[in-house]
């Protein structure tokens, strides 16, 4: 019988097309790790838990008990769902867990799920919403938890910006003069937009 997580993800299956990128950067990490992500939508946990490498044994448990059991906690950097898809203020939970347990801190950005908050009634002519999950290289622990949190935020911002550049070029081929969206709402725009990043690849999911 499917567990609650599987039911959520399978319910999304007809509505979502998930691309995964960056796992090749983390091939040597066997776990446990602390997985630190942005959080544009309530469905993020279901999607990220499904596409993370099985060897990491990602769990819903809080960081300390998860790591004591040799499992990998998924921590949302802002502590809750972003109201507009943009990056808010980070907590120190992910960095603190990585420092205390001396395990790798793995950044991950998810884009495209912000638009899944209010899905209309499904039509047979609907195309699946595009979602991109991108894993980044391990964030090395700095001298303090606060410094590591700062490094983590910088990495997530950079990953989102890199995806913005690639995605914008795919929408505006041959037009280098057009300016990319900028300002405080840029991350929200990126998270709510359809995801299509060159180099991403489909990973088999539990509904495949």
**Domains of the chain by residue range:** 4-116+126-192
Average pLDDT on 6-34 reads 76
40 DSSP assignment: S
Look at residue 18 in the predicted model and tell me its pLDDT.
84
Which stretch of DSSP H or E encloses residue 109?
strand 105-111
Look at residue 208 in the predicted model and tell me its pLDDT.
42
Q: Residue 35: which of 82, 103, 105 has the closest Cα?
A: 105
* Maximum mean pLDDT: which of 107-116, 147-156, 165-174: 147-156
Distance of CA 165 to the CA centre of its chain: 17
Cα 105 to Cα 102: distance, rounded to the nearest angstrom: 9
Average pLDDT on 27-33 reads 91
Q: Residue 13: which of 58, 43, 42 has the closest Cα?
A: 43
Look at residue 86 in the predicted model and tell me its pLDDT.
81
Q: How many Cα atoms within 13 Å fall on the side-chain side of residue 59?
A: 17
Look at residue 149 in the predicted model and tell me its pLDDT.
96
Look at residue 116 in the predicted model and tell me its pLDDT.
64
């Amino acid at each position: 019988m499917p567990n609650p997580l599987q039911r959520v993800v399978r319910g999304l299956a007809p509505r979502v097309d998930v691309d995964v990128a960056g796992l090749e950067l983390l091939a040597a990490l066997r776990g446990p790790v602390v997985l630190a992500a942005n959080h544009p939508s309530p469905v993020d946990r279901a999607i990220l838990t499904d596409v993370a490498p099985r060897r990491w044994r990602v769990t819903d448990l809080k960081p300390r008990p998860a790591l004591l059991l040799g499992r990998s906690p998924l921590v949302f950097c802002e502590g809750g769902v972003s109201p507009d898809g943009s990056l808010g203020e980070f907590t120190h939970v992910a960095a603190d867990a990585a420092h205390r347990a001396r395990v790798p801190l793995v950044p991950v950005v998810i884009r495209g799920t912000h638009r899944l908050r209010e899905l209309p009634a499904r039509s047979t002519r609907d195309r699946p919403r595009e979602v991109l999950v991108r894993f980044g290289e391990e964030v090395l622990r700095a001298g303090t938890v606060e410094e590591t949190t700062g490094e983590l935020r910088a990495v997530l911002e950079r990953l989102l910006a890199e995806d913005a550049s690639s995605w914008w070029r795919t929408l505006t081929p041959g037009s280098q003069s057009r300016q990319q969206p900028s300002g405080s709402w840029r991350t929200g725009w990126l998270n709510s937009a359809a995801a299509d990043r060159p180099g991403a690849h489909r990973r088999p999911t539990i509904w495949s």
